[in-house]
């Protein structure tokens, strides 16, 4: 288990929803320094005022530019790599940009961190990387492959692990803030497909997954948090329930690259998964490129396999989703403000 005391951390994409939550969590520890790397100077300035802690240092840079990673990684013990292009429709229109950030940028992070003798790097992925049909998911899948390949080729170097999780509630660009804005503006909720299902996680739970990979992770392994799911209709009805407005949506159809359900664990991965209570571990495949032996001996698989996706995960009811949403401080504040204005 890694020790946090007197260690130096760097969070790439540190001004994003996850990054800010991760920095807040690290500030609760005795970490010596937390470096925030991003290309958004306005958000960095806002974070500087919000946190007002000398342990938080800010670096302007872009994971696409290998040279810009040298200074923020110098003297760092551990890296949390969250920088990415995450919006599915945007990546559909600009797949090359997604490749530059999510794939080549991640390779730059691993290269720069290794050169700086960083002890460990945790790379953040998404359920969309499993059986991907959109550019964002495809590039995240390649990011995972890049991280595993690095770990396989450098077994005695920096430890590299991957975390994979589903939709994070109230994160930037997610559907819940959109629903709340539509209610405030007196507009009907726009529903893509009522039967579409998604995993539901809080930002704190996503941080818990990263902390688990950081503390327990084996290099080259991927970690998945078991999470409940709900249909988009159930989620929308739960939001309407909290804001005490009628459910009267408009159905707009799926956006570019959207799936009916998302998968956190493929059927193929389930053969080798390790159940760790609240988490699954997918160990690194350590076999080499010499396939000759497998023509003669092969590997006998006797385990049952089943994918873990949002259609077969625990399905939450409308009230259960509402209760889950009210655990989030941001939503409690929104609901209280809405009700007090009535």
Please choose, from the candidates 305, 253, 255, the residue with its C-alpha nearest in 3D space to the C-alpha of residue 280.
305
Phi, psi for residue 185 in degrees, rounded to 5: -90, 5
Catalytic residue among 20, 86, 128, 140: 128
The token pair at 236 is 């929308």
Q: How far is residue 318 from each of residues 232, 233, 245, 250, 329, measured CA to CA in Å?
A: 10, 9, 14, 19, 19
Looking at residue 328, what DSSP letter applies? Answer: S
The C-alpha atoms of residue 15 and residue 37 are separated, in whole angstroms, by 8
Phi, psi for residue 211 in degrees, rounded to 5: -65, -35
Provide the pairing of β-strand 197-199 with 229-231: antiparallel
Q: Is 128 a catalytic residue?
A: yes
User: Are 280 and 221 within 8 A, CB to CB?
Assistant: no
The SS3 assignment for 149 reads helix
Residue carrying structure tokens 């209709």? 233
Residue carrying structure tokens 């049952």? 304
Residues annotated as catalytic are 128
């Amino acid at each position: 288990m890694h020790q946090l005391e007197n260690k130096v951390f760097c969070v790439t994409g540190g001004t994003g929803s996850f990054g800010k939550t991760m920095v807040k969590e690290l500030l609760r520890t005795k970490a010596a320094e937390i470096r925030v790397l991003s290309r958004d100077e306005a958000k960095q300035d806002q974070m500087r005022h919000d946190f007002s802690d000398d342990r938080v240092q800010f670096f302007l840079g872009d994971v696409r530019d290998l040279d810009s990673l040298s200074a923020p990684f110098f003297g760092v013990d551990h890296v949390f790599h969250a920088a990415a292009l995450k919006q599915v429709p945007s990546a559909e229109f600009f797949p090359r940009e997604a490749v530059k950030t999510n794939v080549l940028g991640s390779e730059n992070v691993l290269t720069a961190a290794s050169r700086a003798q960083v002890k460990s790097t945790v790379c953040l992925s998404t359920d969309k990387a499993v059986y991907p049909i959109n550019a964002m998911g495809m590039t995240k899948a390649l990011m995972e492959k890049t991280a595993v390949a690095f770990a396989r080729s450098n077994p005695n170097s920096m430890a590299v692990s991957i975390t994979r999780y589903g939709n994070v509630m109230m994160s930037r660009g997610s559907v819940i803030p959109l629903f709340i804005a539509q209610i405030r503006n007196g507009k009907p909720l726009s529903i893509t497909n009522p039967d579409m299902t998604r995993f539901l996680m809080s930002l704190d739970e996503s941080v818990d997954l990263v902390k688990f990979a950081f503390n327990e992770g084996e290099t080259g392994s991927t970690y998945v948090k078991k999470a409940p799911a709900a249909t988009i209709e159930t989620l929308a009805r739960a939001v309407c329930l909290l804001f005490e407005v009628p459910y009267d949506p408009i159905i707009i159809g799926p956006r570019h690259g959207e799936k009916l359900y998302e998968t956190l664990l493929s059927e193929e991965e389930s053969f080798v998964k390790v159940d760790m209570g609240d988490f699954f571990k997918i160990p690194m495949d350590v076999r080499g490129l010499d396939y000759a032996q497998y023509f003669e001996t092969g590997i006998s698989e006797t385990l049952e396999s089943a994918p873990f996706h949002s259609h077969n995960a625990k399905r939450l009811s409308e009230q259960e989703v509402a209760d889950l949403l009210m655990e989030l401080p941001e939503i409690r504040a929104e609901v209280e403000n809405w009700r007090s204005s009535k």
